[in-house]
Structure 1
């Protein structure tokens, strides 16, 4: 995996490049009719779904936060609340998520968001040499080491995924 030098990319690629982190941009033709952005990415890129992570925003009494879980799992809201140290969380309104992050739904990256939010990444990310997350637009994923994802988001890990 080579370090990218495309400062003209998305806020996510700009943030990773400025931080000197190695990553690979993986693109595919996004199908607007796809029922799941994350599963579409896994299939189109030929990557096992457990390595492709989706970015979900939640709302709590402390404000918005980011949960990052594999695309073949659901975010366990009780586990997310526990990881944040709050009683309860709910999924954030998509319009609020877009305004806060600067990205569109289906392309929300956990990296380079407009506003820095507390980020919790499912600990299963640590089981892989590299993981993929949205690159900041539909049809673009970024492949990077889980340690770099944690560093770039100033995140921490917890068990967040609930398998379907």
Structure 2
């Protein structure tokens, strides 16, 4: 099967990750996108690479970042075209401040590697905040759980599946 079509069920294998399993269990439609990940031009970051290789606007492709508020770790999902505003993220979850979580902690708690961390299917469930700019799109792309694999999903479906909130947490 060469074409990547929407599927209700994935065969176990390359296209099945904890992220896609969570979407399938929730009955959420999504489109898988695979691309050849390369370490050659990583100055721009993994998300920018995904946007370029898949032909999507950088405002429509989102990266997943983990932050620590001191009392809990939270996940922020922001466009790859910008950065996460840690003060805004803290305010969105009712904390005084937030700092980026150690990458090793983020990998251990999410169950994914840096560059492939998905907001979906994480080992440890965290409160999640999606940048409100996502709501301008019918579909956004987030990591599907490994480098070189993204999933296209409705931002409203993503909010429901993750029991997440939308807030202005991205900066450009």
TM-score interval for Structure 1 and Structure 2 normalised by the shorter chain: over 0.9
**Shift, 1:7, TM fit:** 5.5
The answer to whether the 8 A contact 1:42-1:52 is kept is: yes
TM-score (norm 2): 0.92
1:14 to 15, 21, 27: 21
* CA deviation map 1:84-116 (0-9, x unaligned): 111110000000000000000000000010111
Equivalence for 1:124? 133
1:76 paired with 2:89, answer: no
Equivalence for 1:41? 50
Equivalence for 1:57? 66
Provide the C-alpha distance between the structure 1 equivalents of 2:159 and 2:71, rounded to a whole number of angstroms.
21
Structure 1 outlier segments of 4+, above 6 Å = none
**Shift, 1:68, TM fit:** 0.3
Equivalence for 2:8? 4
Equivalence for 1:26? 33
1:14 counterpart SS class:
helix
Equivalence for 1:133? 142
**Shift, 1:27, TM fit:** 0.5
Equivalence for 1:111? 120
The answer to whether the 8 A contact 1:4-1:24 is kept is: no
Provide the C-alpha distance between the structure 2 equivalents of 1:112 and 1:11, rounded to a whole number of angstroms.
5
Name stretches of at least 5 consecutive residues in structure 2 with no aligned partner: none
Name stretches of at least 5 consecutive residues in structure 1 with no aligned partner: none
1:136 counterpart SS class:
strand
Provide the C-alpha distance between the structure 1 equivalents of 2:50 and 2:62, rounded to a whole number of angstroms.
10
1:51 counterpart SS class:
coil
1:146 to 138, 152, 155: 155
* CA deviation map 1:131-162 (0-9, x unaligned): 00000000000001011111121101000011
Matched length: 163
**Shift, 1:4, TM fit:** 3.5
How much is the aligned-residue C-alpha RMSD, in angstroms? 1.1
- How has the CA–CA distance of structure 1 residues 107 and 85 changed in structure 2, closer, same or farther, with 3 Å as cutoff? same
